[in-house]
Amino acid sequence: MRLLDNVVVLVEDRHPEEPDLLGIYEGYALTERGADYGGTLPDRIMIYREAICDICEDEEQVAEEVTVTVVHEIAHHFGIDEEKLHALGWG
């Protein structure tokens, strides 16, 4: 998908400052980019493996939580805020 061309998804064990965080989007949402946007490093979506495994009982739950977390963080890339995500059931 062209709108995700400059986004990388990475997996780490845990967020160093928030060990219970499941994922995070780092970058500039498409809705915040202006004509002067360019020449920047890729946006990053970090998925925290150990935090997800901590809240899941089996592989099926892990797969579902990874899906929800990735969709949630991609939504931030498109400018969707936490409140809207929770209202849509992706919180």
Query: What pLDDT, in 10s, does the model give residues 71-84?
Result: 999 999 999 998 99
List pLDDT tens digits, range 33-60. 888 877 888 999 999 999 999 999 999 9
- Distance (Å) of CA 3 to CA 15, 19, 21, 45: 26, 30, 25, 14
Class of the 2-87 domain? alpha beta
Grade residue 2 by pLDDT with cuts at 50, 70 and 90: confident
Q: Which of 29, 6, 3 is nearest to 81 (CA)?
A: 29
Q: How much is the mean pLDDT over the chain?
A: 91
Cβ(63)–Cβ(49) under 8 Å? no
Q: Tell me, what amino acid is at 57?
A: E
Categorise residue 42: left if φ over 0, alpha if ψ from -120 to 50, beta otherwise. beta
The structure's pTM equals: 0.86
